[in-house]
Amino acid sequence: MRIARFSSGLLLTLLACGLLAAAQDASTSPSQSAAAPATAPASTSGSPAAQNSADAPLPPSTDSAQPAPAQTSQTPAATPVSVPANQTMAPSTPAATLNDVVDRVVQREHFFIAQMKHMHPMVETYLQNLKNDDANNPIPVSDQYFLGRLEMSDGPDDISFVGQPGFGHRMLTKLTGVYSLHYLPMGFAQMVILDTDFQKRYYKFTFVRREFLGDLRCLVIDVQPREGQKTARFMGRIWVEDQDYNIVRFNGTYYPQPKINFFFHFDSWRLNMRPGVWLPAYVYTEESNLKTGLTKTLHFKAQTRLWGYDLKGLGKNEEFTQILVDAPQSVKDQSDAAADATPIVAERMWEKQAEENAIERLQKIGLLAPASEVDKVLATVVNNLLVTNNIDLQSDYHCRVLLTAPLESFTIGHTIVMSRGLLDVLPDEASLAMVLAHELSHIVLGHPFDTKLAFNDKLFFPDQDSFKRLDFRHSPAEETAADAKAIELLKNSPYKDKLGNAGLFLKALQQHSPELPNLIRPHLGNSFANDKDVRMASLLSGAPNLDPKRLDQIAALPLGGRLKVDPWSDQVDLSKAKQVTLTSAREKMEFGITPFFPHLSRLSNSPEKVALTTTSAQPGDAGQPAEAK
């Protein structure tokens, strides 16, 4: 991926992130597509030694020296993947030589491209520009955020939710050049594709070893473009699972390097989301010392996540739920429910209808996770606050997870919504309680919720307009009142002795806000903090001073440490990764970006029963406060 371009002999400063220039360099015809097949070398077989090596049998698997694969997980029921009829599955017979392996990898990669034309996942990139501090540790100096829907078919253009162009537009016809002073999101999205025209004759393949990625046994192969290639092609390493020969990970960059632009290095991962179907889920991008001029260097890290592959399958179970009325018409219901709603009850029902409409729309777009066990954990903390303060809301409440990285929380009626990014970086339960107490206070104080969304036509807008058409912000006066009420709730709660930790998180957030405005900027609710002000500011005085060198002081966590999102179903779950002890201050990485290393496994063909669970909590369901686990 290249990012910079010279004009009049000067570098245009940190240009953004496209994989290849739309306009070719001087050695390439302007009319030639960057992803068009390059002329094949006169001989594609390579030297005799290389040919013999490719035809030689692969080294035997040394399973005795490797960990045994764990039991494969089972497949949840969901919508089948639609693929072209002329695409066939790879043979299950093990490949005997490297040439056999490469043939099957190429076949599977073409199958993958055909699948992706039918997929429209959400794609999010969060990037931090870095510099080294006095101790030579990287610290953020600015950030960028992109969110859109990946479009790889020949249909409409790219779809962006936050105003940037470039997600997937013409992805299958050419790689993108960058001619602007900002990172181009399309470049990050393109790193889910190894090569839009992946052919054996364009590359040299070298077998390295067998290796396990999680439960998955893989063949590790180095890949290099053959000499004489004018079209930029992948150069690096691929991991191929040894059953169907799908590429599950590829790590490297693109080559040859253009004269005036640069390609980024990236590490791209695919997950087995349906039996035999591996789709992109994560891309990590990093440059630590990329020279962009005589004195300029580029230093950044970025995470790209994809989800929402099966949005049509959301709510599928509810479609089969039927309400049957068997009682004879002569039987009359004498209960209170048979009566018309009173004016107060009718108003509550109207608000509830608007709330449910908004929740349903956000979930269908792919911004809100379906109801999950994580919601129950959040509801447990809310219940602790209600029970210890003797509050009866007279109605149910809910907690839900927004799937995006920016740190935000807000209420939709009686539903408290917290973003994935915010849940990731909160260091402990007291800090979580602080956020939930603020949002619960809006509900307790009866702050109004705009009920215009009770009219369904208000939700008839394109998905990419969601952040423009949906607004759940409160007024400054309501925010101030909610802060005061939240402090009152917390002082009577089980978290009253740990509020110093919550204040420490707020201090870290306020300290980093000038460098990380895009991480802290909300899209649907109120701002959490800025360099001058922060939510729940009264907690700052009771917090200890920030000490970056203290290993036992954890003010905030890196992104990605708490929640795991299923890219196919959008279901969220708490990460089961075991926490490790820090060995140095540089590992604290508050609000930082880290590489991905998912535990890969292969799905079986056995369907798993999916049970619908309710995540709503009734006030007073638990007589005593519970611990969120």
Q: pLDDT, tens digit, for every residue of 99-126?
A: 999 999 999 999 999 888 888 899 999 9
Residues whose CB falls within 8 Å of the CB of residue 331, separated by 6 or more in sequence, listed in order:
none
Domain map of the chain by residue range?
6-10+49-58+88-307, 344-578
- Is 0.85 surpassed by the pTM of this model? no
User: Using an 8 Å Cβ cutoff, are 401 and 417 in contact?
Assistant: yes
Q: How confident is the model at residue 496 (pLDDT cuts 50, 70, 90)?
A: very high
On whether the CB atoms of residues 123 and 384 are closer than 8 A, the answer is no
- Whole-angstrom distance, CA of residue 400 vs CA of residue 383: 15
pLDDT at 337: 59
Tokens of 243: 């059953």
The residues near 154 (Cβ < 8 Å, ≥ 6 apart) are 117, 172
Q: What is the mean pLDDT of the chain?
A: 78
What angle, rounded to 10 degrees, do the helices at 476-491 and 499-512 form?
A: 150
Helix H segments across 257-342?
none
pLDDT at 621: 46
Q: Which residue has the higher pLDDT, 18 or 326?
A: 326
Q: What is the pLDDT of residues 280-289, one digit of tens each?
A: 999 999 988 7
Range name among 100-104, 313-317, 350-354, 520-524 with the lowest pLDDT average: 313-317
What is the percent of the chain where pLDDT is above 70? Answer: 71
The amino acid that residue 605 corresponds to is: N
Average pLDDT over residues 360-364: 94
- Cα–Cα distances in angstroms (integers) from residue 42 to residues 32, 98, 218, 281, in the given order: 21, 22, 32, 38
pLDDT reading at 224 higher than 90: yes
Residue 532, pLDDT > 70, answer yes
Within the chain, how many helices (H) and strands (E) appear?
11, 19
Q: Which residue has the higher pLDDT, 598 or 77?
A: 598
In this predicted structure, the answer to whether residue 386 has a pLDDT above a threshold of 90 is: yes
3-state secondary structure of 357: helix
Q: Which residues pair with 250 in a beta bridge?
A: 238, 268
What does the alpha-carbon distance between residue 417 and residue 401 come to, in Å, rounded to a whole number? 6
Structure tokens at 298: 């580029």
Contacts 24+ apart (CB under 8 A), 283-286: 283/188, 283/191, 283/192, 283/596, 284/594, 284/595, 284/596, 285/1, 285/17, 285/127, 285/188, 285/191, 286/595
Per-residue pLDDT averaged across 213-225, rounded?
Answer: 96
Q: Read off the pLDDT band of 290 (50, 70, 90).
A: confident
